[in-house]
Structure 1
Amino acid sequence: MAGSKSVVLAALVANGAIAVLKFGAFLLTGSPSMLSETYHSISDTGNQVFLLVGIRYSKKAPSRGHPFGYGKAQFFYSFLVAVLLFGIAGWESLKHGYDAILHGHQVAPGTVTFASVTVDTVYVSVVVLLGAIAFESYAFMKAYAELRRQMDEYGWTGLVEAFRSTSDVTTLTAFTEDAIALGGAVIALVGIVLSRVTGNHIYDAVSAAIIGVLLMGFALALAWENKRLLLGESAPKGLESDFQSIIREHPGVTHVDRFRTMFVGPSGILVTADVSFDPDLVTDDIDADIGRIEEKLRARDDRVRFVYVEPEL
């Protein structure tokens, strides 16, 4: 959880500063792709606020109304990030780029003066975007380091498996945001430079539209990843098999009749099992065995928070 929070804070600082710089560059240049990137960075900044709210809310202690805690709050706020902020930014970027493709756009004068120094406006955009790439690279590496740590801890073989298996949607969202931000800045940079070199606005306009499509596409992907957890996804198949083996191989257990798991938060797994014990065991022995089974399950994965074993004799 601490790793997720540091990732979000790093992205919040980076995106907040970048949003201001990009908007200033848009005012100076009138570039459609710079406006798309401004939408992008503003949405990313808002994203981090939502994610921080989710992290804070998920720390609330379990209550009568929420006996398994509030861990799923992170799934909900990450879903809001995907649908509302990514979707809105993506739609506005696509719409602005589409209008610029059809009707052109009003480009600001080719030069601007700072402290008696005349500078070509294209250099303003280039400097801002290069700065954005540097900031986003830092945030991206921070998110990747946390995701890499989880991959090593849980034995995931690559990013694809990590995306399918992770319950830490906060880190997943931040990682995806930063990857898109890097891609968007590069696309905007290429479009702006090509438009200046060729004198044709179409490259800048198309870049804006591409950024919008990119945002909307990843919005859908993130929403899908959060949906599976909001609906109560079970632990990965391999982990469930390990849990069942731990129970089945415990002395005194003859059979595992029913077995279920569910994520109740990014770092919380619920495990329930109906277990047949040796009929010769006395009640006190069964209670002790259930306690040892719980310890073994938590030792296998520290995300196991709730264990309910129902003995069947």
Structure 2
Amino acid sequence: MQLENYISDLLYRYDCVIVPHFGAFLTHRVSAKINETTPTFYPPKKVLSFNEQLQTNDGLLANYIAEIEKVPYLVAVERIAKHVKSIKSYLIEGETIALQNIGELILNTEGHINFEPSHNINYLTDAFGLSQFSSTKITREVYKETVEEVEKAIPITITPEKRKSRPYLKYAAIALIALTVAGFAGSNYYGNQIDSHNQIAQEEANDQLDAKVQEATFIISNPLPAATLQVEKVTGNYHIVAGAFRVEANSDKKVEQLKAKGFKARKIGVNRYGLHEVVYSSYTDRIEALNALRNIKRTQNRDAWLLVKALD
């Protein structure tokens, strides 16, 4: 039994997953942040921690395993206990236990468990598809010295320093501004005249087209028989997410790829981060969706996850 897979599945939806007689894996949300020194953007995420004091069975993990493996609840509890006993024996021997997508466990000199979380996965579903990235530093150049050098060779300038010694330049600048304003005004007037003319011509063409349509008579002597199409409507609130894409064309391409593999793939809209979400399929039954998710993670995409959402 791959206990870490079941723990990982539950961490997407719960903030605390207790492994009976062993400890609890906890998550707490951390907001997005920017490292101004690097500079690097870090998306919001759930940070993992481990509490060895929380060992009382709350039934969450055992019930989940019982549903997935189709076994009685007590059998699931026994399997967890057996797996925990094996992990403890390895820890006592000084070995490091690596739980995939969760982290590493090791026994310290005082006999307590130290936990180092994995940074390869983000259990915050709202941030699915977001990853950290670094931006290049913006370099701002100052051109004042270059401009001053050019002004020495150019006879006409309108910089503040030169205007004091050459007052006639002030009037030249005012005249230039007046000519520019007049040019803009004339251009706008001419453009408005063209727009008005185009609108009138378009309205006249629409009136003529309406008149011809009203005069036309359509007679269908041999109408074709009505065709009935059977369209399967995809329903369900349990969606197996294949990915989220910032460019919609990429999401369309992903849907076609999944359909070619036999999945009932589709787009389910845009999430709060502006990403187009694509799902393998949707299910009305939770257990059926979990079984399908397990199969997809094993054969197709280990990063697939289950989204519970009622769509309009």
Q: Which has the higher contact order (CA 8 A, sep 6+)?
A: 1
TM category, shorter: under 0.3
Greater strand proportion? 2
TM-score by length of 2: 0.25
Greater helix proportion? 1
Q: Select the structure of larger CA radius of gyration.
A: 2
